[in-house]
């Protein structure tokens, strides 16, 4: 595997990083304030990510992801989540049902917690039944900001 790491800066959000293997995304780190490193070589997907953060609607549905290690259940959750439209949210229970596994909301939440494809598998669109829910190390403030960007809040 010859992985290309592409660092990029998004004004007002910070520095993110895409990891690509022959055009297939193998990892995507969200833009956050972080020290060190220069922006990497340009890539067309970076321009789309920047446009998203500037308010452009993009489903990123055509972006190929490295999902070879996913189980059937994980793949079903990923596919269901990628189908949630920009600006809309679903609960963990709704996501599980959309993936064909009603009642598996905790397992669907685990898939979200282990998501390595930030915008391309938009876990920020999954909310708790009574609250926004968590958003890992980025925190609920980052999740709220993404949902506000999309007009979901």
CATH number at residue 126: 1.10.10.10
Residue 61 lies in a domain: no
pLDDT in tens, 23-36: 999 999 999 987 65
Structural domain count of the chain: 2
List 15, 98, 123, 126, catalytic entry: 123
pLDDT in tens, 116-140: 998 999 999 999 888 888 888 888 9
- What is the signed CA dihedral for 8, 139, 55, 46, rounded to 10 degrees? 20
- Same domain for 113 and 76? yes
Residue 64 lies in a domain: no
| Domain housing 14 | 3-53
Residue 58 lies in a domain: no
What is the chain's mean pLDDT, rounded? 92
- Same domain for 32 and 78? no
Distance of CA 82 to the CA centre of its chain: 9
Residue 63 lies in a domain: no
pLDDT in tens, 29-63: 999 987 655 566 678 999 999 999 999 999 999 99
pLDDT value at residue 39: 62
- Same domain for 89 and 145? yes
- Same domain for 38 and 98? no
- Which of 18, 26, 35, 32 is CA-nearest to residue 1? 26
- Same domain for 93 and 33? no
123 catalytic, yes or no? Answer: yes
pLDDT in tens, 79-128: 999 999 999 999 999 999 999 999 999 999 999 999 999 899 999 999 98
- Same domain for 83 and 142? yes
- Same domain for 107 and 47? no
- Same domain for 82 and 141? yes
| pLDDT above 90: percentage of residues in the chain | 80
- Same domain for 109 and 79? yes
- Same domain for 46 and 76? no
- Contacts of residue 33, defined as CB under 8 A and 6 or more positions apart, other chains included, come to 14, 15
- Same domain for 78 and 37? no
Residue 80 lies in a domain: yes
Q: Hey, which residues does 90 pair with through a beta bridge?
A: 126
Residue 62 lies in a domain: no
């Amino acid at each position: 595997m010859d992985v290309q790491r592409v660092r990029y800066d998004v004004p007002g959000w910070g520095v993110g990083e895409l990891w690509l293997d022959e055009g297939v995304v193998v990892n995507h780190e969200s833009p956050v304030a972080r020290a060190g490193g220069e922006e990497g070589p340009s890539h067309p997907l970076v321009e789309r990510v920047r446009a998203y953060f500037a308010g452009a609607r993009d489903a990123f549905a055509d972006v190929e992801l490295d999902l070879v290690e996913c189980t059937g259940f994980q793949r079903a959750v990923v596919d269901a989540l990628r189908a949630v439209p920009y600006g809309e949210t679903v609960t963990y229970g709704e996501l599980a049902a959309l993936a064909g596994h009603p009642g598996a909301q905790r397992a669907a939440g685990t898939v979200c917690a282990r998501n390595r494809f930030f915008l391309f598998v938009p876990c920020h669109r999954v909310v708790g039944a009574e609250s926004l829910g968590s958003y890992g190390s980025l925190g609920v403030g980052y999740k709220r900001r993404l949902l506000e960007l999309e007009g979901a809040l």
